[in-house]
Amino acid sequence: MKEDFNKKKANIEAAVYEYLVWFEICPDLIHHEESGLRKMKMDIEEDNEEAQKWIIKLATLLKHLRSIAKTWETEGSQGSNYNYSVTQPESPERAIEILRNLARGRALLTGRNHITMEDIPIVAKTVLSTGNIDKVGVFRLLISNDGRLSASQIVKALNVARPTALRNMIELTAIGLVNIHDEDSEATATSPPFARKIIMLKNEFRWLLEKEFEKLREGFEPVDNRAFMGDNENEHENDPRKEESTPYTPTEQQNIFSLKQTLTFTRMFGELENDAAYSPGMSEDKTTVSGQQLQEMLVRTGQFTQSDAAKLNSYTLN
């Protein structure tokens, strides 16, 4: 709270500007006809083979972590039995492309136009961050226990109720990361069905237990990001910690916009700014954006009313 925000912002701007100056004088840049921008041509032949294999592994893990499993109790009232359904997982090819571009961006920041193992830790951390916190929490616990985890261990380590622990185990089974068994050696003959459940990491993901992955993770621990996981919002519909969603009802006094609205505005403004920069009719001032056009685009998204689009426009102009 005692730090100077404007000074920190200025330092960031100076660092970005200095980087862009060096980037733009690089003799290897090529001109992109469609956008009019200069771009760095990536040297695919120089990409490290081991780094490429890790991107494929992490993309496969991402595909499973991003799958949405819905569970429901089918017997009793203490989570003794659950059934589930699971959505179609994302395409691994799409995940590979996204993670490879992330690694390329990191490479460019360090002055390279090819991927090395130095670029993989940010990919690993991103993959671990993209799943919901409950699922990733149990998954991390599973890795730390050499790929074998009992329901009782989840209850003790994560401080959750027994039905919640079993539901989390079923979810990891549903998305294809583990197998579930009734083999807990600590359970007795009189123990309830829940207490005998264990999950074991599938063989195809045993690489998660190796020291190399631990090194790539760099001790990273994901935080609770469920508020920003829009596509997983229904997965925890019964979670008491999840805030009730309310329809957007703007008022004259309201001047705080949601994250989704802010990102939409930034994207729309960027598109208009780019159009203005390369429009033949904007030879005098290539930095001008039409406020009226921007306002109309915001309203067409369905996320803004006319008054709020105008209000956001006025904030930008001021």
Distances (CA, A) of 136 to 95, 100, 247: 18, 22, 29
The reported pLDDT for the residue numbered 230 is 53
Q: How confident is the model at residue 246 (pLDDT cuts 50, 70, 90)?
A: very low
pLDDT tens for each residue of 176-211: 889 988 765 555 555 555 567 889 999 999 999 999
Residue type for position 265: F
How far apart CA 304 and CA 80 sit, in angstroms, is: 46
Give the CB-side neighbour count of residue 98, counting CA atoms within 13 A. Answer: 15
The reported pLDDT for the residue numbered 239 is 44
Pick from 149, 202, 148, 195: which is nearest to 174 by CA? 202
- What are the residue ranges spanned by the domains of the chain? 5-40, 46-232, 259-317
Q: Higher-confidence residue: 285 or 4?
A: 4
pLDDT tens for each residue of 84-127: 666 666 778 888 999 999 999 999 988 899 999 999 999 999 99
Mean pLDDT of 5-18: 92
Q: Is the pLDDT of residue 45 over 60?
A: yes
pTM of model > 0.85:
no
Please give the share of the chain, as a percent, with pLDDT higher than 90: 25
User: For residue 218, what is the DSSP state?
Assistant: T
Q: How confident is the model at residue 241 (pLDDT cuts 50, 70, 90)?
A: very low
Contacts for 16-25 with beta carbons within 8 Å, 24 or more apart? 19/109, 23/108
Q: Identify whether the C-beta of residue 40 lies closer than 8 Å to the C-beta of residue 80.
A: no
Which residues are paired to 199 by β-bridges?
Answer: 149, 180
Q: Is the pLDDT of residue 250 over 50?
A: no
How far apart CA 274 and CA 38 sit, in angstroms, is: 14
The reported pLDDT for the residue numbered 54 is 97
The reported pLDDT for the residue numbered 174 is 85
How far apart CA 202 and CA 64 sit, in angstroms, is: 12
How far apart CA 238 and CA 37 sit, in angstroms, is: 48
Q: Is the pLDDT of residue 14 over 90?
A: yes
Query: What are the backbone angles phi and psi of residue 31, rounded to the nearest 5°?
Result: -90, 125
- Total Cβ atoms within 10 A of residue 313: 19
The reported pLDDT for the residue numbered 216 is 92
